[in-house]
């Protein structure tokens, strides 16, 4: 048994870490907290690709003085005793994954924007001896504005470390059989709990500017393939739309707002909506879809609107994460 030289700093036994990463959320449903969050989020060059010399005056002079109050009201509609749904559910996912992995790895979670910060949690994992860390951005479909910017924050954190851990990153899993199976199981469960069989199922993905597709971002293709594979698993068509448009630029189409009105106008009376691009329920699903989307569809002539929850920390979703994480940890967690 080796011993450290006298005066040597103590070194923790080598361990494997898993850091699951989600987008982020304000710390409170207040205009001040939302403003701090939006300042960080909308200043990311991956998220808004307009040159800063043009964008920053618009952001600081208009958007951050107008949007926080409106967004704070929306957050208040879905805030719970646990806080932000996205933060609370992501934390529950980390605890559930830890229970599944046991002592083979240490699981933590972080947010790209807001708290807990990526750099902070990487440092915490390193401090307890994790010399190998799997970074797992919970974005099934790859986009520069989501997966890539999470990686940017990770590598920026490593640039400040003297003793860096070895890293692996979770690839996008938009067409992974375990993901499609989990989605299908979740949809079947949700439909069984709703009132009546829907005439249509709409998969609403977060929108992106159309130019991202022209520039080579695979997000649009990943979303379309997810919907196609899910439809094959369910034995029925799954329609696709893109939500959360912002600004005047052309975005991926069709928009969810337009699709809801179009479906009602075309005679669809019973609709089920899912959000397979979101790993957990959040403002965009609980307020934008389940509240505003429902109101819009019913006002346009629809009669039944069922929002089906994200995978969250339910058994299908956690079994999927255990499978994906286990595949990426091969050779690490089974070493002597």
> Which of 216, 230, 255, 254 lies closest to 174, judged by CA?
230
Site of tokens 């059989």: 177
Residues 6+ apart with CB under 8 A from 47: 41, 145, 149
State how far the Cα of 94 lies from the Cα of 136, in Å rounded to an integer: 11
State how far the Cα of 62 lies from the Cα of 57, in Å rounded to an integer: 8
Centre a 10 Å sphere on the Cβ of residue 102 and count the other Cβ atoms it contains.
8
Sheet-wide strand order for 200-206: 239-243, 200-206, 270-274, 304-307
> Which of 129, 141, 131 lies closest to 180, judged by CA?
141
- The pLDDT, as a whole number, for residue 335 is 44
- The pLDDT, as a whole number, for residue 247 is 78
Please provide the DSSP assignment of 189-220 as one string.
Answer: HHHHHSSS--SEEEEEEEP-BTHHHHTT--HH
- The pLDDT, as a whole number, for residue 272 is 98
> Which of 126, 139, 130 lies closest to 324, judged by CA?
139
State how far the Cα of 125 lies from the Cα of 335, in Å rounded to an integer: 19
Class of domain 15-172+317-328: alpha beta
Token representation of residue 249? 């630029």
Low-confidence ranges of the chain (pLDDT < 50): 1, 335-336
Cα 260–chain centre separation: 23
Tens-place pLDDT, residues 272-287: 999 999 999 999 999 9
Q: What is the pTM (predicted TM-score) of this model?
A: 0.94
Q: Is 286 exposed, middle or buried (0-12, 13-18, 19+ CB in 10 A)?
A: buried
Token representation of residue 28? 């409170």
What residues pair up with 241 in beta bridges, in sequence order?
204
DSSP-derived letter for residue 330 is T
Sheet-wide strand order for 130-137: 106-113, 15-24, 130-137, 166-169
CB 301 within 8 A of CB 265: yes
> CATH 3.40.50.1400 spans which residues of the chain?
15-172+317-328, 177-307
Tens-place pLDDT, residues 214-223: 999 999 999 9
Cα 165–chain centre separation: 25
- The pLDDT, as a whole number, for residue 4 is 62
- The pLDDT, as a whole number, for residue 248 is 79
> Which of 128, 125, 217 lies closest to 136, judged by CA?
125
> Which of 317, 61, 30, 48 lies closest to 189, judged by CA?
317
Query: Could you tell me the fold of the domain covering 177-307?
Result: Rossmann fold (3.40.50)
């Amino acid at each position: 048994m080796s011993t450290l030289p006298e005066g040597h700093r103590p070194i923790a036994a080598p361990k494997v870490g898993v850091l699951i990463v989600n987008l982020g959320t304000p710390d409170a449903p207040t205009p001040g907290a939302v403003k701090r969050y939006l300042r960080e989020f909308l200043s990311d060059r991956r998220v808004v690709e307009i040159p800063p010399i043009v964008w920053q005056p618009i952001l600081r002079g208009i958007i951050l003085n107008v949007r926080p109050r409106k967004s704070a009201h929306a957050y208040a509609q879905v805030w719970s005793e646990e806080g932000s749904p996205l933060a609370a559910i992501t934390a529950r996912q980390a605890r559930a994954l830890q229970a599944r992995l046991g002592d083979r790895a240490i699981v933590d979670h972080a947010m790209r924007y807001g708290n807990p910060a990526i750099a902070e949690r990487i440092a915490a994992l390193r401090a307890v001896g994790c010399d190998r860390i799997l970074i797992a951005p919970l974005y099934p479909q790859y986009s520069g504005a989501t997966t890539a910017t999470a990686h940017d924050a990770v590598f920026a954190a490593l640039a400040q470390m003297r003793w860096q851990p070895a890293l692996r990153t979770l690839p996008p899993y938009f067409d992974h059989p375990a993901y499609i199976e989990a989605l299908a199981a979740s949809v079947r469960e949700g439909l069984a709990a709703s009132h009546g069989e829907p005439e249509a199922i709409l998969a609403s993905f977060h929108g992106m500017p159309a130019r991202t597709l022209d520039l080579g971002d695979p997000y649009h293709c990943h979303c379309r393939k997810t919907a196609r594979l899910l439809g094959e698993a369910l034995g029925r068509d799954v329609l696709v739309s893109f939500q959360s448009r912002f600004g005047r630029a052309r975005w991926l189409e069709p928009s969810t707002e337009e699709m809801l009105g179009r479906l009602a106008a075309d005679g669809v009376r019973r609709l089920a909506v899912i959000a397979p691009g979101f790993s957990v329920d959040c403002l965009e699903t609980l307020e934008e879809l389940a509240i505003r989307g429902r109101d819009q569809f019913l006002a346009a002539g629809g009669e039944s609107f069922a929002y089906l929850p994200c995978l969250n920390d339910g058994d299908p979703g956690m079994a999927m994460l255990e499978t994906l994480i286990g595949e990426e940890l091969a050779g690490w967690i089974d070493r002597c």
